[in-house]
């Protein structure tokens, strides 16, 4: 039999789980309660031998009998009765990094959902995994239950990828979707999302686009065969979007989303932008995630599904467990570390020219439009469409423009000049309009 065909007679794979929170706890419950389902496709049983978590006393809904407990998660790496370490602690450094490093060094497979760690230390960890002939698996790190990593790394393995786009942070997508639906301001929606458990008490990782940028870094590494290079991602979050922008965007035929985009040789960008309503990604609402791969020869493939939560994320961990049981051990980023291009060798700058959405708060009086359009003309920026909402002579109104394609630097220069005009009452708001991918 080929080596990766399940061998039902093989000994159980011994799993150590570090972190029994929302995801780690669910993984333990799935292994405990649905061992038969897993064994049927894995050809082997899984046995949890050791766990570690903050509180020893909580009832986590699975039988702890026969499972060892260690207070220091890093100890799991040193044990002889562990084949696979499931790291569900999080954080780019600290115990998580220590545990994963030592686990790989001691020849244990690692399954992690830790995108921050991979985005920052992925190359080194991938090298360790290779050197020690073990797998470093992370389907759960990106887009929750969507098999995005496997689809890109294996399912589209024969393609040249020209673009990866994604809605990769469910918290941001929930906030934007709700602002659009209810017109509530960002701060209120965020506060409510925190109450509902959709956002963390310290929301910066999510709403400033950092978590999503971690994921984009990893997808770009696989898609383009390059080292993950987080510091080469241009990041802007969702804090600056006003509820009014959703209504204006809608009138122009767009929706507002936090979208990551990566193309070969360019800086990946995680940015709040407008998407034509006719595109698939524009329709991804709430806590759903989506990824779109544009590639040759396949064309465009879009995957959508739950981006977070215990069920979705544990599904991804289970898929990695089955792969390991079947000896399907890929190179971490799809090829050997030595064959990865340098992810830092990308063009600096704001990405390709795109159309832009621009909102200006101006005094409603004659001559304003002429003042503004003359600045745009000086900078060779042409206007595709324009909206002025309502009439309020001598009062402040919104003037909304969609430009033709323009580089971000040229646009910013023009907007700085426009901001200095006496008729302009607030800093201009500008967001790129992404060119459509797959319609849907």
| Binding positions for a copy of itself, 36-65, rule CB under 8 A | 37-38, 40-43
Q: Which stretch binds a copy of itself (CB under 8 A): 81-89, 133-141, 262-270, 395-403?
A: 133-141
Min CB(250)–a copy of itself separation in Å: 17
- Strand ranges (E), 217-267: 234-235, 254-262
Q: Which stretch binds a copy of itself (CB under 8 A): 34-42, 176-184, 254-262, 375-383?
A: 34-42
Query: Is residue 5 a contact residue for a copy of itself (CB under 8 A)?
Result: yes
C-alpha closest to that of 123 among 344, 390, 371, 382: 344
Phi-psi region of 197 (alpha: psi -120 to 50; beta: other; left: phi over 0): left
Give the helix/strand (H/E) hosting 250. Answer: helix 243-252
- The total of other beta-carbon atoms located within 10 Å of residue 81's CB is 11
Per the DSSP assignment, residues forming a β-bridge with 231 are none
* Of 6 and 276, CB closest to a copy of itself: 6
Query: Is residue 297 a contact residue for a copy of itself (CB under 8 A)?
Result: yes
* Of 242 and 310, CB closest to a copy of itself: 310
Query: Is residue 343 a contact residue for a copy of itself (CB under 8 A)?
Result: no
Q: Which stretch binds a copy of itself (CB under 8 A): 243-251, 301-309, 365-373, 382-390?
A: 301-309
Footprint (CB under 8 A) of a copy of itself, residues 217-246: 225
Distance in angstroms (rounded) separating the CA atoms of residues 263 and 360: 31
DSSP string, 1-38: --TTS--TTSPPEEEEEE--SHHHHHHHHHHHH-HHHH
**Count of residues near a copy of itself by CB under 8 A:** 76
Q: Which of 25, 90, 135, 268 binds a copy of itself (CB under 8 A)?
A: 135
Coil vs helix vs strand at 266: strand
Min CB(167)–a copy of itself separation in Å: 12
* Of 161 and 362, CB closest to a copy of itself: 161
Distance in angstroms (rounded) separating the CA atoms of residues 102 and 76: 9
Q: Which of 12, 253, 276, 311 binds a copy of itself (CB under 8 A)?
A: 311
CA 190, 191, 192, 194 dihedral sign is: positive
Coil vs helix vs strand at 283: helix
Distance in angstroms (rounded) separating the CA atoms of residues 327 and 345: 34
* Of 283 and 404, CB closest to a copy of itself: 283
Footprint (CB under 8 A) of a copy of itself, residues 156-185: 156-160
Q: Which of 93, 296, 342, 409 binds a copy of itself (CB under 8 A)?
A: 296
- Strand ranges (E), 283-389: 288-296, 299-306, 356-363, 383-388
Give the distance from CA 282 to its chain's centroid: 16
Give the distance from CA 306 to its chain's centroid: 12
Coil vs helix vs strand at 397: strand
Q: Which of 88, 117, 146, 430 binds a copy of itself (CB under 8 A)?
A: 146
Contact 76, 70 (CB under 8 A): yes
Q: Say which of 108, 115, 150, 215 is annotated catalytic.
A: 215
Q: Which stretch binds a copy of itself (CB under 8 A): 114-122, 208-216, 312-320, 418-426?
A: 312-320
Min CB(199)–a copy of itself separation in Å: 20
Tokens 């034509």, residue? 276
Query: Is residue 2 a contact residue for a copy of itself (CB under 8 A)?
Result: yes
* Of 89 and 156, CB closest to a copy of itself: 156
Catalytic (active site) residue 215: yes
Q: Pattern of binders to a copy of itself over 321-340, x per CB under 8 A? A: xxx--xxxxxx--xxx--x-
Catalytic residues: 215
């Amino acid at each position: 039999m080929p080596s990766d065909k399940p061998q039902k007679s093989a000994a159980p794979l011994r799993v150590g789980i570090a972190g029994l929170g929302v995801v780690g706890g669910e993984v333990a419950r799935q292994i405990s309660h649905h061992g038969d389902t897993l064994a049927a496709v894995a050809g082997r049983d899984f046995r949890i031998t050791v766990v570690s978590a903050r509180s020893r006393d909580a009832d986590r809904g699975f039988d702890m009998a026969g499972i060892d407990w260690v207070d220091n998660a890093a100890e799991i790496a040193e044990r002889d009765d562990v084949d696979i370490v499931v790291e569900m602690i999080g954080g780019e450094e600290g115990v998580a990094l220590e545990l994963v490093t030592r686990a790989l060094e001691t020849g244990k497979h690692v399954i992690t959902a830790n995108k921050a760690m991979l985005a920052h230390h992925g190359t080194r960890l991938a090298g360790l995994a290779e050197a020690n002939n073990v797998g470093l698996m992370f389907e759960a790190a990106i887009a929750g239950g969507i098999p995005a990593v496997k689809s890109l790394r294996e399912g589209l393995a024969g393609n040249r990828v020209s673009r990866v786009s994604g809605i990769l942070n469910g918290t941001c997508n929930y906030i934007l979707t709700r602002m659009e639906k209810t017109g509530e301001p960002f701060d209120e929606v965020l506060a409510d999302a925190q109450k509902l458990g959709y956002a963390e008490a310290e929301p910066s990782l999510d709403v400033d686009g950092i978590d999503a940028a971690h994921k984009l870094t990893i997808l770009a590494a696989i898609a383009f065969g390059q080292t993950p290079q987080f510091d080469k991602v241009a990041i802007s979050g969702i804090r600056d979007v006003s509820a009014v922008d959703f209504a204006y965007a809608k009138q122009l035929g767009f929706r507002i989303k936090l979208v990551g985009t990566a193309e070969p040789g360019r800086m990946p960008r995680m940015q709040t932008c407008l998407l034509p309503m006719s595109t698939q990604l524009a329709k991804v609402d709430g806590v759903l995630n989506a990824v779109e791969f544009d590639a040759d020869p396949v064309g465009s493939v879009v995957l959508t599904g739950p981006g977070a939560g215990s069920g979705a994320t544990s599904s991804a961990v289970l898929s990695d467990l089955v792969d390991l049981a079947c000896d399907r051990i890929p190179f971490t980023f799809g090829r050997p570390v030595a064959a990865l291009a340098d992810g830092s060798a990308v063009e600096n700058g704001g990405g390709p020219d795109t159309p832009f959405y621009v909102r200006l708060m101006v005094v409603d009086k004659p001559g304003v439009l002429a003042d503004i359009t003359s600045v745009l003309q000086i900078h060779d920026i042409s206007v595709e469409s324009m909206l002025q909402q309502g009439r309020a002579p001598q009062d402040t109104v919104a003037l909304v423009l969609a430009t033709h394609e323009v580089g971000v630097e040229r646009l910013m220069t023009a907007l700085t000049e426009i901001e200095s005009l006496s008729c302009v009452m607030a800093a201009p708001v500008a967001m790129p309009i992404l060119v459509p991918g797959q319609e849907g």
